[in-house]
């Protein structure tokens, strides 16, 4: 049996953030959040959210997913 949730029945929006503990010897930290979303019917969407951190023990806000409709 195959079930697909309607977009309205899916959870979210999710608040996304990165917690970076230590920048290391270079003085900054870099990373990327990758979002992979499966629509339940074989379709995939990909989204990348890169970030740079200049402070130890920092939280970086990376928005929400799915993003609010404008």
Quote the CA–CA distance of 21 and 59 in Å, as a whole number.
9
| Average pLDDT over all residues of the chain | 84
More confident residue, 68 or 53: 53
pLDDT > 90: what percent of the chain? 44
Q: Which of 70, 32, 38, 39 shows the shortest CA–CA distance to 53?
A: 32
Can you give the pTM of this predicted structure? 0.69
């Amino acid at each position: 049996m195959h079930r697909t949730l309607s977009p309205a029945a899916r959870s979210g929006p999710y608040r996304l953030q990165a917690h970076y503990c230590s920048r290391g010897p270079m003085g900054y930290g870099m990373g990327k959040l990758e979002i992979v979303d499966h629509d339940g019917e074989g379709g995939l969407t990909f989204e990348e959210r890169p970030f740079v951190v200049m402070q130890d023990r920092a939280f970086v806000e990376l928005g929400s997913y799915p993003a609010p409709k404008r």
